[in-house]
Each structure stands twice: as structure tokens, then as C-alpha cells.
């Protein structure tokens, strides 16, 4: 993409209504614009990041054996009356009436709808286990929408639902979700810590939340430092292997890690002092096992060879995809702007032409642009006739992990400058070597 042709409405001033870095930076970097309180338009660069996160989520869900689908945003109130949640949900639910006077709602989550789909098509234990998920916009009329996309009213969520024959099988689904979520966050270049959570109004027996550490997080968190050393790396995982998923689950849930809601000071005090960590965190996902809560109230049963018809065991599992964009920025920025992890960066490299209109510089940039595109590095070429300082400031603000700076002086010596956004370290290299280095960095991600 050429910056001269891209819609990237950068703001020079800090917006006065944005209290936290991610909100400020997403507005300044032209990623989002507020449409109404808690409701945002995703401009091209914000949308690109959102799509990247969605792709990673899809990839890891499909790898775990889950079925992608898409349910509508608008749901019928009758289904929610069946489960008893129509009245329970309260003012957070946006209620709508159609021209025939039928009660509808903008879905805040999808347990009822998916249970309805399941019970209408699945009758036999032979069709289990089954996990269905989608990535769809949700609406919750939050009392205090704030912090930009972190606590919006309309937000994008991946929500998945497992259907199993008994508790044991459902716990495998629970563990499998835990593992697939850990992989998902790692692939996004993030550390998200699973913490024992409170089941709240959804009603559940087992639940964990995933938290990204950041000073601006809404939850207070307490954990054993050791958990920070855990990583799945590129370990191949057999998601059908119950023992393997259970042992990864155990490894990640043994060190103490809890939010303020479940914190137990006595247990925490037993950890050696130097490993007791207190911080703040952003909830970017949650997994639940809730047994037969919905299958009983909504009559989702399967026939079995020995026990007749029995209600299925279920769980639901969510990732806050749009919130994740903000969480990544909260965890990864400096005073000049965003610092994208390579895996989710809107572009792989920024090319800055220091002397637009200079034949040699223009030609060198065009060549770099072409070869980066061919290598799949997805370059953003700043081809505007701006001062060098302004170009650097824009690149720093939008946070591409790498920048190549091209100027007549370097070209005389056959070199361009390759700069890493995170470390600020620059090196002078012939253009081909700079490309080779970037190609290596990005090939590791696939
Ligand atoms: P919270 O406690 O932050 O209100 P929740 O526990 O009600 O969230 P879940 O039902 O667990 O939310 O939804 C799954 C995920 O969706 C959450 O982990 C979070 O990342 C995201 N999410 C929930 N509410 C919002 C919101 N208002 N804006 C953006 N993302 C949200
Ligand atoms: Mg939650």
C-alpha cells in the first residue's frame, strides 16, 4: 500500500476524551472513529488488525477441531424466555420490537440460539462430541462504555459452544479450549495468563479468565511469577488426546493466578515472597463449563444406548477480539506510539523515502516496495512529499515493527537503513540484505 492512496487519518493532537493509551493511539493512528458512545467504525488500518486477529482465532479454532459458522446478531426474545434469561439479563440487553410487534434483541451472547440449533438437528449420542463457534458482533448496553474498544457497547467476540455426552468429555472440551486459547494468544505475540474466575450470572462450575497484564486493566490480579515462564512454543498438540490436553491444562493452572474476585490471600502468602506478583490485567477471554444448565431448560437431549435420553453437557468459551486490539496496544506501546507484534501488525514494514522526487531514491523505494510485496511482507510505502521528521513520527505512531529508510546519501554507498521499532536499533544494509532479513523474520510466523 502507498500511503498517498491510503485512508489513514492521523491526528496530530491527543484527543481530550481518551483516558488510556490504546484509546488515544487508536484514534490518533486513524484506526477507529467513534460513531456513538461505545460504538466505533473501524477505519482501514484498524480493520486490517482486527481481521488479522480474527484469522488467528479461526486458524487455532479449526486446528482444535471446532466448527466455524455464523449466527445472526438479532435474536428472538422467545428463546431467551425459554432459558429464563430474558428477564435476568436486565438493562444490558438491547431490546427491539419489529413491525409485527414481536420482541427481539441484539445478541449479547449466543447460548440460547446455539442450543436451539443443536436440539433441532442432533438427536443421538453418536453425533457427539461437537463444538461450534462463530465470530460475530455483540451488543451489551454497558453502564459505562469507556476506554475505546476495551469496553464498548458493540464489540466483536469469538464465542464457541461445546456439546458433550457427560461431564468427563465436557472437561476434555474445557481443557482443549484452554490449550487452543493459550496458543491463540501466543500467536498474537501476547502473554495472556489463565486465572481462576468467578462464574457470575452465566452460572457455571468451572471457569477461567485470560488476562493480559497492563497498568490500565480493570481487574486487580495476583499470581506466581513462575507462570510468566510458561510457553507452548511451536509444540505440536494432539487435541484429541485427553491426557495431553489435561496435562497442559494442569501445567498452566498449577501456579497461583487469580483475579480480585477469587483471590485467596492465605494461599497467595504461601508462595515465596519474591514470586508474589500483584498487577492489573485486561480480560481478553473466558472459558466456562456449565453442565446441563441450558440443555435442561431448553430440552437439548440425545438418545444413548443404555440411559435413554439425556441432556448434553455444555460449555461456552469467548475471546474478546475487538478488545484484544486495545489490549495489545496497552501492553505494547511507548511515548511515540504503538509497537505491533509482527504477527498482528497491519503492515510488515514501512518504507520511508527521505527525498521524494529524487530519481534514485524513488527508484530504490519502488524496488523495495515490489520485492517486499512479492515476499508477502506487505509494505506500507510513505511516498508523500513530507519532511523526514513528519514521516518518522507517523511511522512511530502507527507502530509497524520494521522501517526501511531510503535516502540519497545512503544510496551513494549502496545501503538503506533498517530500523526495529521495538529496540530502536538501526543498521545500514544493502537493500537485498534488508529484505532477506525481513523475509526471515516473517517466515517464522507462518
Ligand atoms: P467483562 O467482565 O469485562 O464485562 P464479561 O466477563 O462480561 O466481560 P464474557 O461474557 O466473558 O465478558 O465475554 C467474553 C469476552 O468478550 C471477554 O473476555 C472480553 O474480552 C470480551 N468483552 C466482554 N464485554 C466486552 C465489552 N463491553 N467490550 C469489549 N469486549 C468485551
Ligand atoms: Mg468474562
User: Which residues share a beta bridge with 320?
Assistant: 157
CA 302 to centroid of ligand 1, rounded, Å: 31
Q: Which three cell numbers stand for residue 93?
A: 440487553
For 412-439, letters b (16+ CB in 10 Å) and e give eeebbbbbebeeeeeeebebeebbeebb
| Residues having CB within 6 Å of any atom of ligand 1 | 109, 140, 142, 151-152, 155, 157, 283-286, 318, 320, 322-323
Q: Report the SS3 class of residue 3.
A: helix
Ligand 1 atom with least separation from CA of 324: 20
Look at residue 361 in the predicted model and tell me its pLDDT: 97
pLDDT at 235: 87
- The per-residue pLDDT for 17 is 87
Closest-CA residue to 156 (of 320, 352, 4, 354): 320
Q: Which ligand is nearest to the CA of 151?
A: 1
In tens, the pLDDT along 113-150 reads 999 999 999 999 999 999 999 999 999 999 999 999 99
Instruction: Give the class (CATH, top level) of 347-443.
Output: alpha beta
Q: How large is the angle between the packed helices 21-28 and 321-331, nearest 10 degrees?
A: 100
CATH 3.30.930.10 fits 15-338, yes or no: yes
Three-state secondary structure call for residue 292: coil
The predicted pLDDT at position 201 comes to 56
- Count other Cβ atoms within 10 Å, centred on residue 90: 9
150 C-alpha to center of ligand 1: Å? 9
Question: For residue 285, how far is its CA from the centre of ligand 2 (angstroms)?
Answer: 6
Rounded-to-integer distance, Cα 55 and Cα 415, Å: 36
pLDDT at 54: 98
Structure-block grid coordinates of residue 148: 475505546
The domain segmentation of the chain, as residue ranges, is 15-338, 347-443
pLDDT at site 444: 84
**C-alpha dihedral, 75 to 78 to 82 to 87, nearest 10°:** 80
Q: Residue 110 CA: which ligand is closest?
A: 1
Question: Atom 3 in ligand 1: which residue has the minimum CA distance?
Answer: 283
Parallel, antiparallel or unpaired: strands 349-353 and 379-382: parallel
**Residue 439: CA atoms inside 13 Å, Cβ hemisphere, count?**
13
Taking the centre of ligand 2 as the mean of its atom positions, its distance from the CA of residue 165, in whole angstroms, is 25
3-state secondary structure of 25: helix
Decide if 182 contacts 188 (C-beta within 8 A). no
Using CA positions, which residue lies closest to atom 11 of ligand 1?
286
Which value, in Å, is the radius of gyration of the alpha carbons in the chain?
Answer: 24
Crossing angle of helices 359-374 and 431-443, rounded to 10°: 20
Low-confidence ranges of the chain (pLDDT < 70): 199-205, 446
414: left (phi over 0), alpha (psi -120 to 50) or beta: left
Å from CA of 411 to ligand 1 middle: 51
Query: 364 C-alpha vs ligand 1 centroid, how far in Å?
Result: 47
Residue 435, classed as helix, strand or coil, is: helix
Q: For ligand 1, pick from 283, 317, 322 the residue to mutate: most ligand atoms within 8 Å of CB.
A: 283
Decide: helix, strand or coil at residue 410.
helix
Q: What's the pLDDT score for residue 200?
A: 64
Strands 130-139 and 192-196, bridge-based pairing: unpaired
Q: Which atom of ligand 1 is nearest to the CA of 318?
A: 14
C-beta neighbour count of 265 within 10 angstroms: 7
pLDDT for 204 equals 53
Amino acid at each position: 500500500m502507498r500511503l498517498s492512496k491510503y485512508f489513514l487519518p492521523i491526528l496530530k493532537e491527543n484527543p481530550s476524551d481518551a483516558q488510556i493509551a490504546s484509546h488515544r493511539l487508536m484514534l490518533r493512528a486513524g484506526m477507529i472513529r467513534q460513531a456513538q458512545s461505545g460504538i466505533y467504525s473501524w477505519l482501514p488500518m484498524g480493520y486490517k488488525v482486527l481481521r488479522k486477529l480474527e484469522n488467528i482465532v479461526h486458524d487455532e479454532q479449526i486446528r482444535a477441531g471446532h466448527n466455524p459458522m455464523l449466527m445472526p446478531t438479532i435474536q428472538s426474545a422467545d428463546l431467551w424466555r425459554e432459558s429464563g434469561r430474558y428477564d435476568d439479563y436486565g438493562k444490558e440487553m438491547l431490546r427491539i420490537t419489529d413491525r409485527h410487534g414481536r420482541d427481539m434483541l441484539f445478541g449479547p451472547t449466543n447460548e440460547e440460539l446455539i442450543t436451539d440449533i443443536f436440539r433441532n438437528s442432533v438427536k443421538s449420542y453418536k453425533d457427539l462430541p461437537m463444538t461450534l463457534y462463530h465470530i460475530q458482533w455483540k451488543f451489551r448496553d454497558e453502564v459505562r462504555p469507556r476506554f475505546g474498544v476495551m469496553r464498548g457497547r458493540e464489540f466483536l467476540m469469538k464465542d464457541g459452544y461445546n456439546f458433550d455426552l457427560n461431564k468427563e468429555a465436557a472437561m476434555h472440551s474445557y481443557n482443549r479450549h484452554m490449550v487452543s486459547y493459550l496458543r491463540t494468544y501466543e500467536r498474537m505475540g501476547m502473554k495472556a495468563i489463565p486465572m481462576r474466575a468467578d462464574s457470575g450470572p452465566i452460572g457455571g462450575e468451572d471457569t477461567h479468565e485470560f488476562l493480559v497484564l497492563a497498568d490500565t486493566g480493570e481487574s486487580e490480579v495476583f499470581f506466581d511469577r513462575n507462570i510468566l515462564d510458561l510457553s507452548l512454543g511451536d509444540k505440536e498438540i494432539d487435541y484429541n488426546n485427553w491426557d495431553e490436553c489435561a496435562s497442559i491444562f494442569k501445567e498452566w493452572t498449577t501456579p497461583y493466578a487469580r483475579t480480585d474476585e477469587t483471590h485467596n490471600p492465605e494461599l497467595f502468602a504461601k508462595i515465596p515472597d519474591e514470586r508474589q506478583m500483584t498487577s492489573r490485567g485486561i480480560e481478553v477471554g473466558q472459558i466456562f463449563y456449565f453442565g446441563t444448565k441450558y440443555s435442561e431448560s431448553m430440552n437439548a437431549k440425545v438418545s444413548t444406548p443404555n440411559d435413554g435420553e439425556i441432556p448434553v453437557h455444555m460449555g461456552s468459551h469467548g475471546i474478546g477480539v475487538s478488545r484484544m486490539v486495545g489490549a495489545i496496544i496497552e501492553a505494547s506501546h511507548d511515548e511515540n506510539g504503538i509497537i505491533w507484534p509482527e504477527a498482528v501488525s497491519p503492515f510488515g514494514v514501512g518504507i520511508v523515502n527521505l527525498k521524494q522526487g529524487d530519481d534514485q531514491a524513488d527508484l530504490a523505494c519502488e524496488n523495495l516496495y515490489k520485492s517486499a510485496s512479492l515476499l508477502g511482507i506487505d509494505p506500507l510505502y510513505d511516498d508523500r512529499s513530507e519532511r523526514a521528521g513528519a514521516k518518522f513520527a507517523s511511522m512511530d505512531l502507527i507502530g509497524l515493527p520494521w522501517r526501511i529508510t531510503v535516502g540519497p546519501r545512503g544510496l551513494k554507498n549502496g545501503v538503506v537503513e533498517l530500523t526495529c521499532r521495538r529496540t530502536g536499533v538501526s543498521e545500514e544494509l544493502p537493500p537485498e540484505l534488508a529484505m532477506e532479513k525481513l523475509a526471515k523474520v516473517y517466515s517464522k510466523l507462518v
